[in-house]
Amino acid sequence: MHRLGMPLLRLVGGLVVLALLWQRVGATPFQNGLRAVTLPALAAAAAITAVATVCSAWRWRVIARTLGVGMPLTTAIGAYYRSQFLNSVLPGGVPGDVHRAVAHGRRAGAMNRGLRAATWDRLSGQVVQAVLTGLALLLLPSPARRFLPVIVAGGLAVVLGAVLVVWVAGRRERSRPAGVARAVSGDVRHRLLARGVWPQLTLASVVIVVGHTGTFVIAARVAGATAPLGELVALALLVQTAMVIPLSVGGWGVREGAAAWAFGAAGLGAAVGITVTTVFGVLCLAAMAPGAALLLADSARRGDRARSEPEPRRERGPRREVVGG
């Protein structure tokens, strides 16, 4: 039950958000989004996602290499496509990352470092996402600009809280939390912030965020949003930052709720925000189709191996003689 607790909470949270939106605006915005999708938009999203996926795989590979569990770029790209597809169709938004972390840890024979590499990969991207969102709210017109001091204060509180937890745990020399704290501190100082590492992580993360933002802007234009480009970029970054919250049903939930609020606050209408994110969700899911193909190929290979392996012979016991009388 404990293992099912968090996934169930994420699923229920996503369903609650969708139910509230459905009650408020009905099904029309979702239907409009589905009807608005076009082939040129799908092709553009697939191309942008391909570039973003290569950059994501490169970032993950850089981190893994610093931890001593490097992998070929082609392997990382395939694993990332699988991960993105699973994150898009399973509740919570993180099962795909767990899948690639465990698979990489098993291949490398170092499960702990495989899990750490995937965790730092995701966190480094989220940090850059948060910084770019803050800059966008500061420089571009946005309905959330007045909340920027609160957002910055909240972000600083989270960072300082994490540093404090690591520092306090590290002072307990022989405890398990102390070991975790020392590992976290060592990874950040000597690996992620190393001179030749952090610029690569930052560059890759910026390209990824720009790519996802570009897909969102395409979705907004296809959905009929007429807001200026700068405002759409700020809205896109705001919605993407909200998507970090793992309350979703196959990617749907918090994203639509954040878009409804942001677009409504911008005077564009909550329904328009939901229509835009519906188009965005369809474009992203279609662009991650290579991940589904790779997962099907993996399943087929496992089935072939299972059929090709000879069945173990059953040992026959000693024959019993029946004495008739």
Given a contact cutoff of 8 angstroms between Cβ atoms, the answer to whether 119 and 129 are in contact is no
Out of 85-94, 166-175, 195-204, 223-232, which region has the weakest mean confidence (pLDDT)? 166-175
CB proximity list for 149: less than 8 A, separation 6 or greater = none
Angstrom CA distances, 2 to 8, 12, 91, 114, stand at 10, 16, 16, 24
More confident residue, 322 or 36: 36
- Does the pLDDT value for residue 92 go beyond 90? no
Kindly report the pTM of this predicted structure. Answer: 0.85
Phi (first) and psi of residue 104, to 5 degrees: -65, -40
Task: Work out the widest C-alpha separation in the chain, in whole angstroms.
Answer: 102
* Of the candidates 33, 41, 22, the residue with the CA atom closest to the CA atom of residue 273: 33
Alpha carbon distance 292, 222 (integer Å): 25
pLDDT of residue 185: 79
Mean pLDDT score of the chain: 85
Share of the chain above pLDDT 90, in %: 54
